[in-house]
Copies of this chain bind each other. A is one copy, B any other.
Amino acid sequence: MRSMPAAPSPSKAERTRSTLQHAALARFLEHGVEATSIAEIAADAGVTERTFYRHFPSKQHVLFADYDARLGWFRQALFLRPPGEPVTTSVRIAVESFPYDAALHQIAVLRSNQLEQELVQAHIKTVQAEFSREIAQFLLDRTGAAPASDEAYQISITAQCVAAVMFTATETWFARGDLDVQELSRLVDLGLRSLKSGIA
């Protein structure tokens, strides 16, 4: 086969990965996530089951394929805030400038397909934990809190609470059905403000 002209021809791995992703999403949409087996996806893509796992750590990850990138984006957004700025502001801005609309399209597709709650929910918890760690790390770095100190403890709690706001907001937003990004922003803001002013 002749080599492609200019385009940095995707490596075989990249092609395989893409083929797998398309095969998976196609079946997911048609039959649902649980009803689709890795064997079927692999067969559609013309590879072995084992190869699937060389490109995606789990079935869930095909759906959340670009979440890692977004987590990196979030870390970057935190990191780029000026050092002098109050950390609360830094976190608020990073959270509020998160591209929810792009991130949530995949999940919207899922919701439309009924069921799958437990499966997806479990994965959401993992993602939430990652965001929580990310925020905690940022706060620890910026405040220079001593490890194992009460201050570090309170920072851990803070991080988990902020992550809880992010995810409860999107959850509530979905549950209500009216998918307006403005409304999502309002919920995030409302949640963060209620954290700041104290929980009653």
Contact = CB atoms under 8 A, between A and B. Distances in A.
Contacts of A176: 148
A172 B151 CA distance: 11
Given A164-B157, A164-B164, A168-B156, A195 B199 contact: yes
A150 interface: yes
Nearest to A187: B153
A108 to B, nearest CB: 18
| Chain A binding surface SS class | helix
Interface string A181-200: 00000010011001111111
Interface residues of A, number: 34
A165 interface: yes
Contact of A168 (B126, B157, B187): B157
Contact of A195 (B157, B162, B191): B157
A156 B172 CA distance: 9
Given A154-B190, A154-B191, A148 B175 contact: yes
A196 to B, nearest CB: 5
A158 B195 CA distance: 9
Contacts of A153: 168-169, 172, 187, 190-191
Contact of A160 (B126, B168, B175, B198): B168
A37 interface: no
A129 interface: yes
Given A122-B126, A157-B161, 12 more contacts: A125-B125, A125-B126, A148-B172, A152-B172, A153-B169, A153-B172, A157-B168, A160-B161, A160-B168, A196-B198, A197-B198, A198-B199
**A-B pairs, 3 with minimum CB distance:** A198-B198, A160-B164, A161-B161
Interface of A: 88, 122, 125-126, 129, 148, 150, 152-154, 156-158, 160-162, 164-165, 168-169, 171-172, 175-176, 187, 190-191, 194-200
